[in-house]
A and B are shown apart, each in its own frame.
Chain A
Amino acid sequence: MQDNKRAAYALIRNVFLVLFVVSLAELAVAIYLESTVLLLLLASAKAVLVVYYFMHIYRLWRQEAH
């Protein structure tokens, strides 16, 4: 249980860090590559991370135990 908890907190922290790094990368891409496609891809990647790890979309097709 305790481990479970620690893992849960660690997971969200790591996801957050990845999101942060990708955001900085976006700025770099905008300045140095000026690639619209890449920017939209990066944004989509961020969105997927948030939708999966923060919004837990998978709960939609999971039967609730309680």
Chain B
Amino acid sequence: MSAVTTHHDDHAHDDTHAHELPYGQQLRANRLGLWLFLFSEVFLFVGLFAARFYLWRDASGVVRPELDQVAGLIATSVLLISSYFMVRAEVAVQHGEQKKMHNSLIMTFVMGSLFLLSVIFIEWGVLDLILDNMFGVTLFAHEAIKPGDGAFGAVFYGMTGMHALHVISGLVLILIILANGHKGAFTEERHWGVEACAVYWHYVDVVWIFFYPALYLIGTAVTYHT
């Protein structure tokens, strides 16, 4: 093996040809890489989306489970608001308004967390489960879907679960950006970190833009009581 050598003598490497890419080129590479990654993930979500239309069918055509529409609308709105604050943070950093960026990121984080909580506690029925067990009350009109509810349960938890995983990773990214922004890592000219985080976060929103109608709106509602 030792014959397999890529030598690294100093003369072999002159500075006109350094390996750290110039910022502009690196930025282009980063952008392209991020978008390709997002495009790749499109296939993940389209796979789930396709599974939804493949499985949620009966003799009459496309069906959907009866879900709590209020919960769906709340979740959708909250995520949209979070996206607004995210783009606001980016505009702020472009104009050197660090404070505004910071506050907007915090709002994004809060809204994102609210979305996550609404998924876990309302859509997945964890809240009702807790309330029911502890106080014997039911808050929401519709009983939440359970994982074992045939194709309804599988697709519903598959889609919201995979999306929630992305929300969680987005929240972690926001925290990292917040912490580094606090240390002054981002300037008016150089703020790839904020841009990347923002693009990712909006992407998660775009996924929900398609998942929301697929789960809540399209097809004939079926009351399913198991």
A and B touch in the complex (CB under 8 A): yes
A12's partner among B81, B87, B203 (CB-CB below 8 A) is B87
Inter-chain contact total with CB atoms closer than 8 Å: 86
What is the interface size of chain B, counting residues whose CB is below 8 A from a CB of the partner? Answer: 38
Q: Which residues of B contact A64 (CB under 8 A)?
A: 24, 27-28
Q: Are B87 and A43 touching (Cβ within 8 A)?
A: no
Q: Which residues of A contact B27 (CB under 8 A)?
A: 64
Instruction: Report whether over half of chain A's contact residues are helix, strand or loop; otherwise say mixed.
Output: helix
Q: Which residues of B contact A30 (CB under 8 A)?
A: 213, 216-218
Q: Are A57 and B35 touching (Cβ within 8 A)?
A: yes
**Whole-angstrom CA separation of A48 from B131 in the bound complex:** 40
Any chain A CB within 8 A of the CB of B166?
Answer: no
**Whole-angstrom CA separation of A60 from B39 in the bound complex:** 13
Instruction: Report whether over half of chain B's contact residues are helix, strand or loop; otherwise say mixed.
Output: helix
Q: Are B219 and A54 touching (Cβ within 8 A)?
A: no
Q: Are B88 and A23 touching (Cβ within 8 A)?
A: no
What's the nearest-Cβ distance from chain B to residue A64, in Å? Answer: 5
Q: Are A9 and B77 touching (Cβ within 8 A)?
A: no
What's the nearest-Cβ distance from chain A to residue B76, in Å? Answer: 6
Interface residues of B (CB under 8 A from A): 23-24, 27-28, 31-32, 35, 62, 69, 73, 76-77, 80-81, 83-84, 86-88, 91, 94-95, 189-190, 198-199, 202-203, 205-206, 209-210, 212-213, 216-219
Interface residues of A (CB under 8 A from B): 5, 8-9, 12-13, 16, 19-20, 23, 26-27, 29-30, 36, 39-40, 42-43, 46-47, 50-51, 53-57, 59-60, 63-64, 66
